[in-house]
Chains A and B, each alone.
Chain A
């Protein structure tokens, strides 16, 4: 579970307000899609949840623990996939997965079982022993996703996870995300692909100019403006204001 209470963040000594008094709750077992135009505050919000940025005001809690006060415990429960796969390029894929397994304390049998399965699914079996430097963008994205799911975290935060994946990998990724949440885990992800959000998410939040302007299930969002039946139209309508 992730809870944001009156979270604000600004840049340039308060001149640019990136996130403005944001309140949001994502429940266990839920896939939450976070939508918004470029520069709306999605990445800033995500970075605050995982501890890369410090909120100016407000609190963020992961499973009831404050991310500032109990940062280490929150990190044990959370994994993150950034919008660009900036990973240790000089390590091999396996070395990177081992590193993540070591720092999150994943037992060997569990590691082996998951890695074997996902390598097959993401078609990385032949590349896993090679340096990440030799991977394509999509392959890097896959290895970061595998690393994020390896510790079976309570909360997974993903910034544009589908970008760079081929249709097959994207399909497997969505299945994995669903499977993960069906075990009672929370998944928070930002995307620009309306179709993915519409089909995959249990609830959707739309952020614009740092403020949450709409939040709810697809049905609830349609009720806001009954003339629009697609998420794309709702999104365009809401973010234009």
Chain B
């Protein structure tokens, strides 16, 4: 036990870079400027939090007269658990199998379950932080609004602590099983990618099956039942993942009867799955882990002609760097899943959700209605969707961080920072372009967008894409994360990716508000679109030029 705790403590320190942060903040005083910046970031979140709490209150106000208020707990718990499932997949693969510290841990006199459990705990702590925003405000505010007693708060703590355990244990069991098979093969990277995609498809498939069954046409009898039973909505929402129903009932059901029973079921299920992990860890973890990093390439001597063909006849530096970026990104599974695959998957998931989920239900219907009312809104909505699909990946905002300890090469090669950054920009922008194209195909498939509307939306998305790609790169260049040992850290746990995401959302919100007020002021649609294109073109040019100048300065300043 002592060993396990010590392992977890060291792991947490390394994961959050606590010792390094302490050294940089208080010894070197290098990152001291981050303190006011983070403070400002936290303060700027207050209006959003206020809005969020107001939303919770109004939803509670709507659901309370229908006696369905528990459903909001289910919804937030379900959202939290779904996030754990999705992020857990990346976290588990990279923490269990690709963190460099495993090379140090395996030879130590530790049992496989101790090593895996320490990794599991570290991911669990990460997940608490990930789902915090979605779950804690709802649980707390529900307790206050429903005037819940002391037992509610105790149960709330237990439920929150156990919340990620079930989904994370499911992901861990699947991944550990998958990696045992992967490790048998020579094509490990390819199998990891295929396996991960398969897991995502299975998870989504389950969602859609649940979605379909719960969306059957309601008849009058069912409607009566719906309004008379207090848990009908929560059952409908939670049907896709029963633990969310147990957690909700445990929270809202008092300390006796259904509340206690569901709490016990929730704790029991978490415990069973947790024990499953321990058993799996002892049996399969090391068998899947040892040798996973060893790539046994088929070695073969090259003939004279093969050699001559393989030696390049000289590419321009920009092309050489672009090719390097492209190859490294696509050959590192965790980067590929977050780059090319992410931009293709997001629009596809959207199509599947609309096609198999609510069909001509609320969301799609709203867009159809919008389309017939004001075509300009369709163009703007389509452009916004394309932009989001194109920029919702960490390629640009991790472009320097991804180089990690190899950044020394970018510093010593005789290629100007300007040229290097152009190559990196092209790489990030092409991935963004891929997202825009997939999003466009998705929109045409679902909403049958007209060619003109589609073309204008594409122009807007392409221009916004330049701004957001440049912005992401600037954010990463300001403070690249180069000292990672696990590629996951460069892209999934990189604060720069989060900052860029916030900047993207902020940029689109500001543009949205501006357009809203201009449209309200009676400016014609065509003028509005032309003005928007002009503004975006100017911002594209400005951000790109700023990026080039910033790179000249930062490449000199960054020391490795």
Contacts and interface: CB of A to CB of B under 8 A. Distances in A.
Interface of A: 11-13, 47, 50-54, 71-73, 75-76, 78-80, 82, 86-88, 90-91, 94-95, 97-108, 111-112, 115-116, 125-131, 133-134
A108 B310 contact: no
A129 B302 contact: yes
Nearest to B295: A134
16 contacts: A47-B560, A51-B411, A52-B560, A54-B556, A73-B414, A86-B408, A88-B409, A98-B320, A101-B314, A103-B321, A103-B414, A108-B314, A126-B299, A126-B300, A127-B299, A131-B295
B299 A111 contact: no
B327 A90 contact: yes
B302 A82 contact: no
Contacts of A82: 408
Contact of B328 (A12, A71, A88, A104): A88
B311 A112 contact: yes
A105 B314 CA distance: 7
A80 B302 CA distance: 28
Interface in B327-344: 327-328, 331-332
Contacts of A126: 299-301
Given A54-B559, A126-B299, 16 more contacts: A12-B28, A54-B557, A75-B414, A80-B412, A88-B406, A88-B409, A91-B328, A98-B310, A98-B311, A99-B320, A102-B317, A104-B413, A108-B311, A108-B314, A125-B302, A130-B295
Give the 5 A-B CB pairs with smallest separation, nearest first.
Answer: A130-B297, A102-B320, A75-B414, A134-B295, A76-B414
Nearest to B323: A99
Contacts of B302: 125, 128-129
B44 interface: no
Contacts of A88: 324, 328, 406, 409
A87 B403 CA distance: 10
A97 B28 CA distance: 38
Interface string B299-323: 1111000011011111111011101
Interface size class of B (residues with CB under 8 A): 35 or more
Interface in B14-30: 27-29
Nearest to B297: A130
A85 to B, nearest CB: 10
Contacts of B297: 127, 129-131, 134
A52 B408 contact: yes
Contacts of B311: 94, 97-98, 101, 108, 111-112, 115
A129 B416 contact: no
Contacts of B560: 47, 52
A130 B297 CA distance: 6
Contact of A90 (B314, B323, B331): B331
Contact of A106 (B314, B324, B406): B314
A100 B295 CA distance: 23
Given A13-B29, A52-B560, A53-B559, A99 B299 contact: no
Nearest to A12: B28
Contacts of B416: 72
B415 interface: yes
A125 B405 contact: no
Contacts of A11: 28
Contacts of A104: 413-414
Contacts of B29: 13
A115 to B, nearest CB: 6
A189 to B, nearest CB: 16
B405 A86 contact: yes
B362 interface: no
Nearest to B330: A90
A98 B312 contact: yes
A125 B301 contact: yes
Contacts of A131: 295, 297, 331
Nearest to A48: B559
A87 B413 CA distance: 13
Contacts of A50: 411-412
A24 B51 CA distance: 64
Nearest to B413: A103
B298 interface: yes
Contact of B28 (A13, A76, A94, A105): A13
Give the one of B331, B414, B415 with max A CB within 10 A.
Answer: B414
A87 B559 CA distance: 18
Contacts of A52: 408, 411-412, 559-560
B33 to A, nearest CB: 14
Contacts of A12: 27-28
A115 B308 CA distance: 10
A74 to B, nearest CB: 8
B296 to A, nearest CB: 7
Contacts of A108: 311-314
Contacts of B315: 102
Contacts of A101: 311-312, 314
A130 B299 contact: yes
A40 to B, nearest CB: 19
Contact of A102 (B312, B411, B412): B312
B1 to A, nearest CB: 37
Contacts of B28: 11-13
A99 B98 CA distance: 26
Contacts of A79: 412
B408 A103 contact: no
Contacts of B324: 88, 91, 99
Contacts of B409: 87-88
Contacts of B296: 134
B345 to A, nearest CB: 22
B423 to A, nearest CB: 11
A130 B405 CA distance: 21
A61 B529 CA distance: 55
Contacts of A133: 295
A54 B559 CA distance: 7
A115 B307 contact: yes
A45 B295 CA distance: 36
Nearest to B416: A72
Contact of A129 (B294, B310, B408, B412): B310
Contacts of A95: 327
Nearest to B320: A102
A128 B27 CA distance: 45
Contact of A112 (B301, B308, B327, B557): B308
